[in-house]
Amino acid sequence: MIQSLRNLRLAALTAGQHLTDDPMLLFLQLSRRVPASAARNLARVTSAMAPHGSVSVPAVLASLIRGDGDDISRRLRLAADRNISGERTRRLADIALVANRPDLTDVLLAAAGTAARLRPAQARRLWYAGDLSGAVAALDGAGRAGRRQRARLAGEAALYQGASPTLPRQPFTPVPGRVLHVLTNSLPHTASGYAQRSHSVMAAQRTAGWEVLAVTRLAYPVQVGKLLARAEDTVDGVTYRRLLPSHLAPTMEARLQQQAEEMLKVALDFKPAVLHTTTHFVNGLAVRAVADALGIPWVYEVRGQLADTWAATRGPGARDSEKYRLFQEREREVMRDADLVVTLGQAMKANIAAAGIPEEKILIAPNAVGGAFLDKPLEAAAARRAVDLPEDGLYIGTVSSLVDYEGLDDLVGAFAALAPDFPQLRLLVVGDGVSRPALEEQVAAAGLSHRAIFTGRVPRGAAHLYHQALDVFVIPRKDLDVTRAVTPLKPVEALASARPVVGSNLPALREIIDDGGNGLLAAAEEPRELAQAISALLSDPGRRMRLGQAGRTAVLAERTWAANAQALATRYAGLHHDHEENE
């Protein structure tokens, strides 16, 4: 009962903050908490009822939920042309920002003038562009709501500008063979590739004889809507401890200090010999403070280039912004201070070394497989039968987060090009994300909805069956800094399932896909070339089988979580020796 009351309080504080700071983003996030089909059906009804020329907030929000970018742009331009003013202008400007149309936000705000009530929207626009200092300054002298927003932005900006939690040194005797992992999110509440990799690493370490405990960020998972969350979860023998306090500090800077203090309590109880955390730098700052307080080594695992991921959603100018520069600087600082930096592949290692981190301090622990992926794969028809998919036909598709940089619009384009020549072809897209509505609209516009299956999220225990249901796995990532460097998990799982992979010809994917050996590469952002590569495999069942089997053989030899656990154990032992010498 006490935990439930705490959770309700945390959820109310989170919702209240979002309602003040970014109400349109809160609405969009809430719309994703309801079943996707229900949200889209309601949006379609709202759009159908709204006049073609309506610029009402509900009409534009309905277009946003449906993923109809053209209709969003049309209605927002109409609003700007009509010189809409007042509260509706602010709301429409915020919707444009959530829709990643800052140009339309600028048009609306320019037409609305300089009224004080527009300051929160203007601050959000500056923050979106990475102008952290400008966003805070825009709220100087604002009213009560503006002051709260200013305090929040100033607290977050401080973390980019150099603030760090501090803890006093503690008398401490670690227990050898214990490792405490600090995570952003985790199973069973989040089923992302990040959460799955974390779980696989810890499960393998546990099998290898380590005592493992994980702790997640402050207020997770209540802050993502899991109101019934418990203080502790155990999945496959791995324990996840939650930091769910009765109150939250008012700003992000203060909350990180609060998180470090709560993590220190867990560490003093568990007595780990090493701390292990992951990107981004905020995790590293908290773990560094705890490690310094206890006098033990810590590991920073770089799983992505999150500054580049952020910039990829903002356009080329984002790389010149204050946020991007400070983001990169803090990542370098955390990598420099960690005792060991772990990453996923050669491209990422090269980027880390280019930031000034000694190569001997960097360990590659690639995305890998374990569990059901080690078992002999089923034939495609049997796998489809196991997950209630139609057994006949040829299947192309992916298992992925549905976000823009994954390039799934190019997959749909390739599917549309192939459909006339392969009448039995189906598209299978497993996963969910912000791009799903637009992808479904794209399939519908091509007249192929009856041949496409969007499953949404699927149970973790069934993921391998969806890989095995495919004839060709496709990973058509866009050509961006982040996708050129970061090696994803899902194509490795596809190869372990003995399925050939067709992917974009990018450095990170070349580390996984051997062109002509276990799959084929195609130019990024070229749907026709992607279609040609897929067609070459669809037309040759024998080649599909040879490439798929070659991929599985290589993955089982080189990419298993057990092998990663052994490599980490070896380096952990060396860290203790080095740390004791430096004490």
Predicted pLDDT at 569:
94
Q: H or E segment at 216?
A: strand 211-218
Predicted pLDDT at 427:
98
Residues with Cβ < 8 Å from 106, sequence gap 6 or more?
Answer: 125
- At 227, which amino acid appears? L
The CA R_g of the chain, rounded to the nearest whole Å, is: 25
Could you list the pLDDT tens digit for every one of the 583 residues in the chain? 667 777 777 777 766 666 666 776 766 666 666 676 777 788 888 888 888 899 998 999 899 888 888 999 999 999 888 877 777 888 899 999 989 999 999 999 887 776 777 888 999 999 999 999 999 999 998 777 688 899 999 999 999 999 999 999 999 999 999 999 999 999 999 988 999 999 999 999 999 999 999 999 999 999 888 888 999 999 999 999 999 998 899 999 999 999 999 999 999 999 999 999 999 999 999 999 999 999 999 999 999 999 999 999 898 899 999 999 999 999 999 999 999 999 999 999 999 999 999 999 999 999 999 999 999 999 999 999 999 999 999 999 999 999 999 999 999 999 999 999 999 999 999 999 889 989 999 999 999 999 999 999 999 999 999 999 999 999 999 999 999 999 999 999 999 999 999 999 999 999 999 999 999 999 999 999 999 999 999 999 999 999 999 999 999 999 999 999 999 999 998 897 666 656 5
User: Is 130 in contact with 318 (CB distance < 8 Å)?
Assistant: yes
Predicted pLDDT at 322:
98
Predicted pLDDT at 287:
98
C-alpha span between 559 and 439 (Å, rounded) = 32
CA distances (Å), origin 516, targets 32, 285, 489, 550: 40, 44, 20, 10
C-alpha span between 145 and 431 (Å, rounded) = 37
Tokens coding 401: 């987060």
Residue the block writes with tokens 């370098």: 332
Predicted pLDDT at 462:
95
User: Is 317 in contact with 371 (CB distance < 8 Å)?
Assistant: no
Tokens coding 301: 């695992």
Predicted pLDDT at 195:
95
C-alpha span between 32 and 13 (Å, rounded) = 20
C-alpha span between 520 and 473 (Å, rounded) = 10
Check the CA dihedral 490-492-498-501 and report its sign. positive
User: Is 163 in contact with 282 (CB distance < 8 Å)?
Assistant: no
Phi-psi region of 22 (alpha: psi -120 to 50; beta: other; left: phi over 0): beta
- At 462, which amino acid appears? A
